[in-house]
């Protein structure tokens, strides 16, 4: 019995050490000094409160608001529309047809054709990830693409979504929390063809840093750091560039969309065409702004900042923002964001998550250029 106990202890110790080496450790992220903010959270309007964190926001030109919710372990609907102060399932339950139901929602995007695009990561690839589009005029599902294992393998986490105005080119970001093989997935919705690119490229993989947010070192159980690969993608205001961000990297990457669509380029050629600006804080979300700049949330610094193409930052909002993210731009120039509460929910049970709520969504008018 003593030998069995000793062997079990040794095996357990080896497993724990391997998990720590692969998923944990790392030095504290070197957060840059960000400028002081002209406005604080007090200047923002709290537009919604929900019982579970809001992971994604879409604000239409007509003023409609859609939220993708963290629903693991709950009976909540993952996609809702905020109407008259309450969250209503979308599409409405009485109008759904077979196949409309979603398992998880990690990202939302709008195109110029009146469609809401929804990314379902399938519980880290345990189930097939899906890309779905709904016609906002009637709630009908007009596009549905189940990503094969070659595009979204087990251990993947399809976290980011960007769609061109015509809805033809769709880019998804695989943050790959578990498998640690982050990549971009480029999809032609007209041809229904997709390919996985820049897997484990220097521009898509995480750096070995662990953030400390609101006093908590983000290393769950002392073993697993919150250190995803590429998790945010956005198309520039002029429609020419794809930008993406890795939270633990210190820059924002960009590549011309025409190069991303070019199937004749090798992985090496594609990688060499990626440009990375410096000076980014530990980030959550990425939002294209008119004029070519970007907005990102900085959970460590508790700020939301504008970053230009040279990597120079201007702080817009500061305060007790929690874990700000899910950035969206409204038709009226309002900036929306949520407290994703990763620092309060990571590694927690569903009951603990619900007890830590409610979880807010804010908006504030963008400053004049």
- The domain ranges of the chain are 43-215+226-364
pTM score above 0.85:
yes
Domain 43-215+226-364: homologous superfamily in CATH: TolB, C-terminal domain (2.120.10.30)
Residue pair 169/147 in contact (Cβ under 8 Å)? The answer is no
Determine the average pLDDT of the residues in 285-309: 91
pLDDT (0 to 100) of residue 167: 98
Q: What is the mean pLDDT of the chain?
A: 89
Residue pair 328/110 in contact (Cβ under 8 Å)? The answer is no
Q: Check whether 184 has a pLDDT greater than 70.
A: yes
Q: What are phi and psi of 5, to 5 degrees?
A: -60, -40
Lowest pLDDT segment from 97-101, 131-135, 236-240, 272-276: 97-101
Paired sense of beta strands 54-59 and 130-135, if any: unpaired
CA 51 to the chain's CA centroid: 20
Confidence label for 213 from pLDDT (cuts 50, 70 and 90): confident
pLDDT in tens, 227-245: 889 999 999 999 999 999 9
Confidence label for 23 from pLDDT (cuts 50, 70 and 90): low
- Reported for 263-271, long-range contacts at CB under 8 A and 24+ positions apart, including other chains, are 263/195, 267/197, 267/198, 267/199, 267/201, 270/197, 270/198, 271/198, 271/201, 271/202, 271/203
Sort residue 84 into left (φ over 0), alpha (ψ -120 to 50) or beta.
left
Confidence label for 210 from pLDDT (cuts 50, 70 and 90): confident
């Amino acid at each position: 019995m003593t030998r069995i106990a000793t062997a079990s202890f040794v095996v357990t110790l080896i497993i724990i050490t391997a998990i720590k080496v692969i998923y944990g450790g790392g030095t504290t992220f070197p957060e840059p000094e960000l400028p002081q903010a002209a406005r604080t959270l007090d200047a923002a309007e709290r537009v919604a409160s929900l019982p579970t964190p809001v992971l994604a926001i879409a604000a239409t030109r007509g003023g409609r608001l859609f939220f993708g919710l963290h629903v693991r372990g709950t009976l909540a609907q993952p996609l809702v529309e905020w109407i008259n102060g309450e969250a209503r399932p979308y599409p409405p339950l009485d109008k759904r047809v077979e196949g409309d139901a979603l398992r998880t929602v990690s990202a939302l995007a709008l195109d110029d054709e009146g469609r809401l695009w929804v990314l379902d990561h399938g519980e880290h690839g345990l189930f097939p990830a899906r890309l779905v589009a709904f016609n906002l005029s009637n709630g009908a599902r007009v596009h549905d693409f189940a990503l094969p294992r070659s595009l979204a393998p087990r251990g993947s986490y399809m976290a980011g979504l960007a769609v061109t105005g015509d809805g033809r080119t769709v880019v998804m970001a695989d943050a790959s929390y578990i498998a640690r093989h982050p990549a971009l997935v480029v999809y032609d919705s007209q041809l229904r063809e997709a390919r996985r690119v820049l897997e484990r490229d220097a521009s898509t993989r995480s750096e070995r840093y662990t953030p400390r947010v609101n006093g908590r070192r983000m290393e769950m159980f002392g073993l697993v750091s919150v250190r995803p690969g590429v998790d945010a993608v956005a198309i520039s205001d002029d429609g020419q560039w794809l930008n993406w961000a890795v939270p633990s990297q210190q820059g924002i990457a960009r590549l011309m969309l025409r190069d991303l669509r070019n199937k004749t380029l090798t992985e090496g050629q594609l990688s060499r065409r990626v440009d990375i600006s410096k000076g980014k804080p530990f980030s959550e979300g990425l939002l294209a702004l008119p004029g070519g700049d970007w907005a990102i949330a900085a959970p460590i610094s508790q700020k939301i900042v504008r970053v230009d193409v040279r990597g120079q930052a201007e702080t817009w909002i500061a305060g007790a923002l929690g874990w700000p993210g899910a950035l969206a731009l409204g038709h009226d120039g309002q900036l929306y964001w949520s407290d994703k509460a990763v620092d309060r929910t990571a590694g927690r049970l569903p009951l603990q998550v619900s007890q830590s709520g409610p979880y807010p969504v804010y908006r504030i008018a963008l400053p004049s250029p």
